[in-house]
Structure 1
Amino acid sequence: MKQEIIEARQELSKRLNSNLYYEFIQFLDVKKNTLETYKKGLKQFFIYLLENEIQEPTRKDVISFRDYIKETHKAGTAQTYLASVRAFFKWTDSEGYYPNIAQYVKSVKQEKGFKKDYLTSEQAKDVLNAISRTTVAGLRDYAIISLMLTTGLRTIEVARANVDDLRTLGNSTVLYIQGKGHDTKDDYVKITKPVEHAIRTYLKAVQAQSDSPMFTSLDNKTKGNRLTTRSLSRICKKYMVKAGYDSERLTAHSFRHTSVTLALLNGNTLEQVQQMARHKNINTTMIYNHALQKEKNPCYDSVSNALFGA
């Protein structure tokens, strides 16, 4: 058995940088974004092996790689790269190419709780007030940020929105969206009157066609192209900084946290907020609630009052 493993490792060392990688990529039946993640993770692993002159990787080498990417990448990125390596060696083992040396390697430990902060209602108003609506770009950016703040949409969901996704349902205006992990626009968020007005004012200003992307670039070179998630993130960050809220923990995703948090603070039930945020598991919604419950704990004020007076 030991000799078989040695021979298998020798075979892998010959094929790592050739067709074995491509065989695995072709084997995968995943979405495009997931496929790209696998590619990036595996390339990082192969580069690591090459730079360290490792021809026959062992479990220790996988652990060393994990510890290396923990030091050079964010925890979330390191974990996805490790997941790619795990999937690869699970496949090599199932195909009889190489033993699963990544099995039982511990995951990358990530921080508990949320990595991004949220804005208070007053801070969110400051961000909206920092947007000048005297230009088309300002109208667009105000529509984007007011939409994200009131619905909890992710940047990818905003980027995918088209003009004709804005529809009527009952007595409400809704925006049909392609949610996280979905292939079709089978879900929707409710659009409030102020937000609908902001969106329609912008669409009128750019004379948008019904079949066009909702939010597009206004730059000469890319005019009319759908805004990317990166562009949306830059827009969100720009106005937070302009409003005086410049922190690494404040990003476009903070608007989603803001939406969920304000919904809970204003008396909505966990079930209602779960539905709005489209959390598959109510435990995710409860994380927000637990954080708010601790914030309301009167012990801190009681101790302060005992020391400094009411």
Structure 2
Amino acid sequence: MNNHPLEDLSKRYLSENNFSNSTVKSYGFAFMHYIKYLKEHDIEFAKTSDVIKFREIKRNLGYSTTWIYIQISALKGLYRYLRINQKNFVLPLEYAYDIMIPIKNEKINPVIKKPILTLEQAKYMILHTKEIRKSFWHYRNHAIVYLMLTSGLRSYEILRAKREDYKLVDGGWLLYFPSNKSNSTESYVKLSKGAALAMNDYLNLRHDDNPYLFITHQKGITKKALSRMFFMHMFRSVLKECGLDNLGITPHCLRHTAATVNLLRGGTVESTKQFLRHTCIESTLVYVHHIERMKDDSERQIDAFILKEEPYHYHDDNEFLIFE
């Protein structure tokens, strides 16, 4: 089999979704492996059993749990997309059924791989970006940092946000996000008093008709949203101005920080789940595990236990010498 229908369909799937560059790369690599397997076994329309066989082959070859997790996640998204659009795209009936539904994904240990800002660093980012405000973009950057650190926004939510979605409701400012699911209600985040003040200071300086909440302020660009590349460049500049550019901090680290701070201040897991707009509690528990691990003093205690000069003599029933 020289060509496979999933080659073009997978590219269309990636192009029509607002995935990050890293996700596009990972999913594209996953699709390449899967389609190669289908072509080698002359499978045009895969069944659930074919996917399971493919997964087991990769597992036996020594591929990591994380790699298989990404592979299955990519295929789940692709086949769900094909099922939803089967009629619209006039696809073969074989795509009307999602073959990935019966397949459970790999379990991976929840960890936070990106750095989380300390309270001092978060405070400094907010105060420093406020102090240096002079131009339009300084006001914009301060509002973005404040909003992300106190509301836990994702970077793509910052890019998509429109001015019409920013509303005053019952004396408080809210930022709404259109739902991606037809049966879900519109979600929103509440702005703290400081974040709302930073936002309004920025918007009061604007006299353009650009519908987006945050814009570039470059001449000739009047209707466009911030691009991912521009946003990353802007964020790196902010980190450099704050002296935090050598810590590996990414925009998503601010969301991690907001979640962690909410738990540290006494917020419940459920309130943090709602605050982050997580669909499942497992995603929120990652932050609980992180805090518990940071509070755990096992390493120092073990060090003191091993190196303690004066042993505590205690004899149990088996007469073993145990150190305090």
What is the TM-score when the length of structure 1 is the normalising length? 0.69
Distance in 2 of aligned mates of 1:84 and 1:275: 24
CA separation of 1:224 and 1:265: change in aligned 2, threshold 3 A: same
CA contact (8 A) 1:189 1:276 kept: yes
Unaligned runs of 5+ in 2: 44-49, 310-324
Q: Which residue is equivalent to 1:284?
A: 283
Q: For each residue in 1:67-114, what CA deviation from the matched residue of structure 2 results, as whole angstroms up to 9, or x when unmatched? A: 99x79x988765555657888999999749xxx9x9999978866412
Distance in 2 of aligned mates of 1:206 and 1:115: 38
Q: Which residue is equivalent to 2:190?
A: 190
Distance in 2 of aligned mates of 1:83 and 1:250: 30
Distance in 1 of aligned mates of 2:264 and 2:56: 43
Distance in 2 of aligned mates of 1:118 and 1:83: 30
Distance in 2 of aligned mates of 1:212 and 1:291: 39
CA separation of 1:47 and 1:93: change in aligned 2, threshold 3 A: closer
Distance in 2 of aligned mates of 1:146 and 1:164: 20
Match of 1:44 among 32, 57, 60: 32
Amino acid at match of 1:134: K
Q: Which residue is equivalent to 1:140?
A: 140
CA separation of 1:208 and 1:201: change in aligned 2, threshold 3 A: farther
Q: For each residue in 1:95-147, what CA deviation from the matched residue of structure 2 results, as whole angstroms up to 9, or x when unmatched? A: 49xxx9x9999978866412322111111123334533111111101111111
Q: For each residue in 1:152-207, what CA deviation from the matched residue of structure 2 results, as whole angstroms up to 9, or x when unmatched? A: 0111211121112121222321111236x447881111111111111111112122
1:206-225 aligned at under 5 Å gives the runs 206-209=206-209, 212-225=211-224
Distance in 2 of aligned mates of 1:171 and 1:75: 48
Q: CA deviation at 1:216?
A: 0.9
Distance in 2 of aligned mates of 1:229 and 1:290: 31
Distance in 2 of aligned mates of 1:84 and 1:225: 28
User: Is 1:297 the counterpart of 2:275 in the alignment?
Assistant: no
Q: Which residue is equivalent to 1:118?
A: 116
CA contact (8 A) 1:116 1:250 kept: yes
Distance in 1 of aligned mates of 2:81 and 2:279: 28
Q: CA deviation at 1:276?
A: 0.9
User: Secondary structure of the residue that 2:216 maps to in structure 1?
Assistant: coil
CA contact (8 A) 1:143 1:195 kept: yes
CA separation of 1:240 and 1:185: change in aligned 2, threshold 3 A: farther
CA contact (8 A) 1:66 1:78 kept: no
Amino acid at match of 1:126: Y
1:57-76 aligned at under 5 Å gives the runs none
Distance in 2 of aligned mates of 1:249 and 1:207: 36
CA contact (8 A) 1:172 1:191 kept: yes
| Greater mean alpha carbon deviation, residues 163-172 or residues 194-203 | 163-172
C-alpha RMSD of matched pairs (Å): 4.8
Distance in 2 of aligned mates of 1:141 and 1:80: 34
Distance in 1 of aligned mates of 2:260 and 2:237: 22
Q: Which residue is equivalent to 1:164?
A: 164
Distance in 2 of aligned mates of 1:66 and 1:299: 34
CA separation of 1:290 and 1:163: change in aligned 2, threshold 3 A: same
Amino acid at match of 1:44: M
Q: Which residue is equivalent to 2:16?
A: 32
User: Secondary structure of the residue that 1:206 maps to in structure 2?
Assistant: coil
Give me the identity figure in percent. 23
1:191-270 aligned at under 5 Å gives the runs 191-209=191-209, 212-246=211-245, 249-270=248-269
CA separation of 1:298 and 1:135: change in aligned 2, threshold 3 A: same
CA separation of 1:226 and 1:44: change in aligned 2, threshold 3 A: same
Distance in 2 of aligned mates of 1:66 and 1:221: 52
Distance in 1 of aligned mates of 2:81 and 2:162: 37
Q: CA deviation at 1:290?
A: 2.1
User: Secondary structure of the residue that 2:190 maps to in structure 1?
Assistant: strand
What is the TM-score when the length of structure 2 is the normalising length? 0.66
Distance in 2 of aligned mates of 1:74 and 1:133: 44
CA separation of 1:237 and 1:27: change in aligned 2, threshold 3 A: closer
CA contact (8 A) 2:143 2:202 kept: yes
| Greater mean alpha carbon deviation, residues 219-228 or residues 106-115 | 106-115
CA separation of 1:67 and 1:133: change in aligned 2, threshold 3 A: farther
CA separation of 1:106 and 1:223: change in aligned 2, threshold 3 A: same
User: Secondary structure of the residue that 2:17 maps to in structure 1?
Assistant: helix
